[in-house]
Amino acid sequence: MQAPTMDPAGEPPSMLWGLDPIFSAFARLYVRDILQMTESTQVPGIYFYNSHPIYKVDVLGTVVYQREREDFFCYGVDDGTGVINCLCWKNDLFKEEENSSKSSVKPSDGGFNPGSELKKLRQAQQSRCRLEIGELLRVRGPVKTSRQQREIMASCFYKVNDPVMAVQIAWMMEVPQLYRQCYDKPLQLQPTATGESAVSSIGKATNIIKDFFKQKSVSRFRPYDVQDLLQPLIPRQPQTAPADQEPVAGPSACQQLRQLLKDALKILQDEGIVYRKVKSQDELYHVTAQDKDLLIAVKDIIREDCKREKYAEKGCHILHILSAVRQRYSLNVSRAALELVLKSLECNSDVVSTSDSHYTVF
């Protein structure tokens, strides 16, 4: 089956692809969508999902078939929506192991043998790369079409130990949000007369509000505190219309301003930059990075719960922390806001991450 290609008329110019943040990220797409993406007619190896240019992806799934060759592993990864072939190249560790297995390691007199310990380390690293059918694999890398079949050329791959399915559950919760917030929203690029892409008013509005937070060190605000900052983004309406032209009905400048502010605050909430501790008629927003009470609450939760035997060794999972924050502090704290708090605490050496999703205190 030949891979589908995109209509040149509906494909955005390649010089504008870099303006899409998804283009330079590892897109966490379902395998079904990776297999159905259309290929660019301008640049081979670039694919489009809903007008977003994509060339590298991030996939988590179960190994359903595996083949080993001299230089690479070939794994079939199933994420529940489809199966894709993943080409995972062997690194130098495997070649070194083959050479070292031919030579015997002599024991040392002191009981500690550096060569033996190094061999154990290499074996542990190799075990993360050599998988069997039924094991969980995470793969990141560019998408390629070989022999008219889609596959992933892995730049990074490893076996995921997930006995209680915590990683898979977190993945299944995060990917649909990425689809709703990013992938399923068509890319809007409107070139200006100079050939440059015009940044949307909503993007400018969010940047203006972010700059206001940084300059004034704002911790709390209400919408009317920042509404006037967005006034220059509203186009001026003509005072009078020509006599032979009927007035066109449309939103007033005040309505446009309120809608722009509403959309900008929605984006800032989705990114976790702001949140509302209590939803009431008084629209009071808290700036996540400046909310000292929230930082203290998260730090105290991690410190207290890490004393429990269940979390003493590995630390608290981010979903556990999020649940505890919503129970003890505010129901309206999003995962994005919590991630910003954890990042801030980690930069200040208040907490440390023991894995991708677990945190503990020093």
Do 211 and 264 lie in one domain? The reply is yes
Shared-domain flag, residues 309 and 348: yes
CA distance 145 to 61: 20
Higher pLDDT, 91 or 93: 91
C-alpha count within 13 angstroms, C-beta hemisphere, residue 322? 16
Shared domain for 68 and 141, answered yes or no, is yes
Distances (CA, A) of 26 to 19, 53, 141, 143: 15, 11, 7, 10
Structure tokens at 218: 């704002």
One domain, residues 149 and 47: yes
**How many structural domains comprise the chain?**
3
Q: Is residue 195's pLDDT more than 50?
A: no
User: Domain ends where: 243, 264, 288?
Assistant: 288
**pLDDT at residue 198 tops 70:** no
Instruction: Tell me the pLDDT tens digit for each residue of 2-60.
Output: 455 555 556 777 778 888 889 989 999 999 999 999 998 888 889 999 889 999 999 99
Q: How many CA atoms lie within 13 A of 278 on its CB side?
A: 4
Q: Which has the closest alpha carbon to 186: 48, 55, 35, 42? A: 48
Per-residue pLDDT band for 197 (boundaries 50, 70, 90) equals very low
CA distance 3 to 136: 28
* CA atoms of 163 and 152, how far apart (whole Å): 26
Residue 194 has a pLDDT of 36
**Residue 72 and residue 146: Cα distance in Å, rounded?**
16
Q: How confident is the model at residue 189 (pLDDT cuts 50, 70, 90)?
A: low
Q: What is the largest CA-CA distance in the chain?
A: 103
Please name the residue ranges forming H helices in the chain. Answer: 31-36, 92-102, 114-127, 166-178, 201-216, 223-227, 253-270, 292-305, 309-312, 318-328, 335-347
5-23 burial, b for 16+ CB within 10 Å, e for fewer?
Answer: ebeeeebbeeebbeebebb
3-state SS class at 179: helix
Task: State the pLDDT confidence band at 98, using cuts at 50, 70 and 90.
Answer: low
Domain that holds residue 299: 291-361
> Domain end: 164, 187, 221, which one?
164
Considering the domain architecture, whether residues 257 and 139 belong to the same structural domain is answered as: no
Instruction: Supply the pLDDT for residue 294.
Output: 94
Does the residue 156 lie in any domain? Answer: yes
Question: Residue 109: its pLDDT value, please?
Answer: 54
- Domain boundary (288, 303, 331) is at 288
Within a domain: residue 2?
A: no
The pTM of this model reads: 0.49
Q: Is residue 242 part of a domain?
A: no
- Do 159 and 278 share a structural domain? no
CA angle 19, 21, 23 (to 5 degrees): 85
Number of H helices, E strands in the chain: 11, 15
pLDDT, mean of residues 60-76: 91
| pLDDT tens digits, one per residue of 99-132 | 555 444 455 555 677 777 777 777 776 766 788 9
| Predicted confidence band of residue 151 (pLDDT cuts 50, 70, 90) | very high
Are 23 and 147 contained in the same domain? Answer: yes
Lateral strand order in the sheet of 52-54? 38-39, 47-49, 52-54
Q: CB–CB of 31/59 below 8 Å?
A: yes
Which CATH number is 215's domain given? 1.10.10.980
Same domain, 32 and 156: yes
Residue-averaged pLDDT of the chain: 83
The residue written with tokens 């081979």 in the block is 44
**Looking at residues 324-349, what average pLDDT do you find?**
91
H or E element at residue 220: strand 220-221
Integer-rounded Cα Rg, in Å, for the chain is 26
HSE of 126, CA atoms in CB hemisphere, 13 A: 16
Q: Kindly state whether residues 337 and 263 are assigned to the same domain.
A: no
Q: Are residues 280 and 340 in the same domain?
A: no
- CATH number for the domain spanning 323: value is 1.10.10.10
In-domain check, residue 98: no
Reported as half-sphere exposure (CB side, CA atoms, 13 A), residue 252 has a value of 3
pLDDT for 112: 72
pLDDT (tens digit, 9 = 90+) per residue, 270-297?
889 999 998 888 889 999 999 999 999 9
For residue 146, pLDDT over 50 is answered with yes
Q: What percent of the chain has pLDDT over 70?
A: 83
State residue 237's pLDDT score.
Answer: 58
Where do we find the tokens 């290499």? 122
**Does some domain include residue 221?**
yes
**Is the domain of 160 the same as that of 271?**
no
Q: Do the domain assignments include residue 47?
A: yes
Non-local CB neighbours of 310 within 8 Å, separated by 6+ positions: none
- Same domain assignment for residues 157 and 13: yes
Tell me, yes or no, whether 97 lies in a domain: no
Residue 287 token pair: 């700036």
The CA distances from residue 148 to 3, 39, 145, 216, 305, in Å, are 6, 12, 6, 56, 52
